[in-house]
Amino acid sequence: MNKIIPSLKIEKIAMHGYGIGYAENKAILVPYTLPGDVVDVQLQVEKKDVAFATLVQFRTISEDRIAVKCEAFDGENACGGCDWLMVPYYLQLQWKSDLVKGQFAPLQLQSKVTAAIASPSSFHYRNKSFLPAAVSASGIYFGMYERYSHRVIPHTNCLLHPKLFDDIFNEIAAFADKVKLPVYNETNGKGILRHAGIRINQAQEQVLVVLVTKSSKFPFTQQLVRQLTQRFPQITGIVQNINRSTGNVILGHEEKILYGSPYLYDELDGVKFRVHYKSFFQVNSPLAQLLYGYLEEQLQPTDIVLDAFCGNGSIGLYVADKVKQVIGIETEEAAVADAEFNRELNQKENVSFRQGTVEELLPSLIKERKFSTVIFDPPRKGVDEVVLQAVVQKEIPLILYVSCNPMTLVRDVSFLLKHGYKAENITPFDMFPQTWHIETVVKLTRISA
């Protein structure tokens, strides 16, 4: 049996949302705890200077802890969707700003970190959710994975996405159960139904449904389409995505359009977007408007902007009226098609897009044109050093770096600081309330010779 540590006092918050206490010359990291809690914990993984533990019981409860209205939060059947439902929102914002400061402390940039920008909505803010399918004695259901596992925890009322999502997920699960549709088994690779996904626009008048299957076989699809569209008239598209692989990637490369279109239309501050179900689009639309507005404020009318990792062109199109020219780079073919469509939809003649990787295209593009600004909005792995090196060599005057991963952000900013740039400010935006995750924008300028 793993060792029990009694009466551990939680003193502060760490990355990944853990509470930290200290015992036996180790930092003990415990999920679902906050400063002021005194808890008995059971060690799960021990290393030289740190250990990971699970909560056994409370001795003292922090005065900051609030009641949680979710049956899938903490305890034995806790999903991994939320970290901080027990924390008042104002305190979540403070913690996130502090966590970003902590990450930038080795670079001595704590003073550059501002207070976190609050999300207009702290609940039901997600415009997209993909949930894995599972089966129990009670039947088929959808849910979130348990923290650091692939055990699917059922949900009846998720506090992160709209209630409409739960209704649609439940309808699909009930139908799959009725027709005895086999659920995909990760262990033996058998079964059909893998995931279901839902995307909604900000006006909540258009909904996309994605059904991810192991094979093209999907019995009774016409009946399911009829049932979903009759009950939920907001649905404008239903797609069967076929993922034949055995890995953890959700979406495959094959698809069947079962109903309507594989995209919906959305709008941010009057800029319109067609969003394909495979396209990247910020998951919290009202907060995305604040973030994009901030980026626009940093730009000048004479700027020529390179929008790297541009997705469906949302940032570039949003700032287009403020600047002279925008060129976007994006890998995903469907996202580039959306970007081109959105350029025409918004009549932005000063915007264009290139399909390919940033690593391949950026070095040659910045040799061809004199860019004044590069906007980076990369995936969690950050920006490849070959790209940063090309920007450094060209001495691009302004870099606006948008990141959802503080660790890789600090790594890349450190490289830029060593090669002629300075950080003007670091602004956290709370794209993901109720979780430890944070979107951060760093403004970097080239130091004059």
DSSP string, 69-85: --TTSSSTT-BSS-S-T
Q: What average pLDDT does the structure give for the chain?
A: 95
Amino acid sitting at position 158? C
Question: Apex CA 426: angle with CA 424 and CA 431, to 5°?
Answer: 150
Say yes or no: 19 and 36 in one domain: yes
For the record, the structure tokens of 324 come out as 């002279």
Regarding whether 196 and 113 lie in a shared domain, the answer is: no
Q: Is residue 77 one of the residues assigned to a domain?
A: no
pTM comes to: 0.93
Residue 347 sits in the same domain as residue 405: yes
* Predicted local confidence at residue 1, as pLDDT: 53
CB 300 within 8 A of CB 279: no
Average pLDDT over residues 158-182: 97
Give residue 169's identity as a one-letter amino acid code.
F
Domain check: are 380 and 404 in the same one? yes
Taking CA atoms, 159 is separated from 34, 84, 116, 143, in Å, by: 20, 12, 21, 13
Residue 375's pLDDT is 98
Residue 310 annotated among the catalytic residues of the structure: no
In the predicted model, is pLDDT for residue 171 greater than 70? Answer: yes
Cα–Cα distance, 316 to 296 (Å, whole number): 10
Last residue of a domain, one of 65, 82, 111: 65
- Indicate if the pLDDT at residue 194 is higher than 60: yes
Place of tokens 């509470």: 19
DSSP 59: E
In eight-state DSSP terms, residue 160 is S
- The model's confidence at residue 34, banded by pLDDT at 50, 70 and 90, is very high
Query: What residues are paired with 369 via a beta bridge?
Result: none
* pLDDT tens column, 324-370: 999 999 998 888 999 999 999 999 999 999 999 999 999 999 998 99
pLDDT higher than threshold 80 for residue 75: no
The Cβ of residue 108 has, within 10 Å, a number of other Cβ atoms equal to: 9
Residues β-bridged to residue 275: 264
CA 399 remoteness from chain centre: 22
Average pLDDT value for residue range 67-90: 90
Both 164 and 307 in one domain: the answer is no
What is the per-residue burial (b if ≥16 Cβ within 10 Å, else e) of 173-206?
A: bebbeeeebebbeeeeeebbbbbbbbbbbeeeeb
pLDDT tens readout for residues 386-433: 999 999 999 999 999 999 999 999 999 999 999 999 999 999 999 999
Whole-number pLDDT of residue 284:
97
159 and 213 together in one domain: yes
Report the distance separating Cα 50 and Cα 154, nearest Å. 32
Please report, for the domain that includes residue 383, its CATH number. Answer: 3.40.50.150
Number of domains in the chain: 3
What's 38's domain CATH number?
Answer: 2.40.50.140
Q: Which of 82, 158, 310, 404 is catalytic?
A: 404
pLDDT range class, residue 216, cuts 50, 70, 90: very high
Phi, psi at residue 234, to the nearest 5°?
-70, -15
Residue 449: its pLDDT value, please?
53
Residues 177 and 232 both lie in one domain: yes
Sheet holding 152-154, edge to edge: 152-154, 139-145, 128-136, 193-200, 207-213, 235-242, 254-260
Query: According to the model, what pLDDT value does residue 76 have?
Result: 76
Range of the domain at 34: 4-65
